[in-house]
Amino acid sequence: MRLKDYQQDMHGTLGRFFRVARVSGPNAAYEAIVREPDHKARLGCYAGDYRALEAVPQAPYVCLRLPTGGGKTLLAAHSVAVALDTWIENDHPLVLWLVPTNTVRLQTVDALRNTRHAYRQALDEAFGGRIRIFDIADFPMIRPQDLRDQTCIVIGTIQTLGVSNTEGRKVHAHHEDLESHFSNVPRNAPGLERSEDGPTEQCALL
């Protein structure tokens, strides 16, 4: 499906943001773009100061403002390739795709698994069909070879991960199926969250 002119313009702006961020950092890239006369006029009061993600301040973090019915999901599918071409140094990235509700989550999973759907076709074109789609509930099924040879897209809700207290959240719990991903990670590596659910102490990166 061919993108409309304003959608192509949006992707051009996103790609330029990533390219400038690689050289000057995301804060400088954001400031440079939103201060341009065309963008400043259109954004108005929405052109606030750049706010980095506290946990990963070096990661580019922006919100793209689109009109109602502007094709957000289709643009998101195309945006994965934009990020690949201008920011990600990995032929097969791992994508965490967050949506607002469980209903939208299930609809998005179905659409991205349907090889005839425009969303999936955009991804297949960008990655040569080397795509695997996972619902957040199925993320323990991801294997190291999937991450090596396929672009893996995990669809979840914002609420799935948006909590500070991880107790009782299955997505944060220890999963034996994921141990093969971390076989070479030292036990005392920084950033690990410890779990004592099993017979021996376990560590997880989630």
- Confidence label for 36 from pLDDT (cuts 50, 70 and 90): confident
Same domain, 19 and 58: yes
Residue-wise pLDDT for 192-202, tens only, equals 666 655 444 34
Q: How many domains does the chain have?
A: 3
More confident residue, 130 or 190: 130
Same domain, 155 and 190: no
Residue 179 pLDDT more than 90? Answer: no
Residue 41 pLDDT more than 80? Answer: no
d(CA 64, CA 115): 26
The mean pLDDT of 116-136, rounded to a whole number, is 94
Q: What is the pLDDT of residue 206?
A: 36
Structure tokens at 163: 């909590």
Structure tokens at 75: 């643009």
Residue 134 pLDDT more than 80? Answer: yes
The mean pLDDT of 26-33, rounded to a whole number, is 92
Q: What is the pLDDT of residue 43?
A: 74
d(CA 53, CA 76): 20
Residue 166 pLDDT more than 50? Answer: no
Q: What is the pLDDT of residue 3?
A: 85
CB-CB contact of 96 with 154 (8 Å) = yes
**Residue 167 domain flag:** no
The mean pLDDT of 164-178, rounded to a whole number, is 52
The answer for residues whose C-beta is within 8 angstroms of residue 142's C-beta and 6 or more apart is 132, 134, 152, 154, 178, 181
Sign of CA dihedral 97, 100, 105, 109: negative
Helix (H), strand (E) at residue 132:
strand 131-135
**Residue 129 domain flag:** yes
Same domain, 57 and 108: no
Q: What is the pLDDT of residue 22?
A: 93
Q: What is the pLDDT of residue 199?
A: 42
Residue-wise pLDDT for 91-109, tens only, equals 899 999 999 999 999 999 9
Same domain, 73 and 4: yes
What is the domain range of residue 102?
90-162
Same domain, 61 and 141: no
Residue 77 pLDDT more than 70? Answer: yes
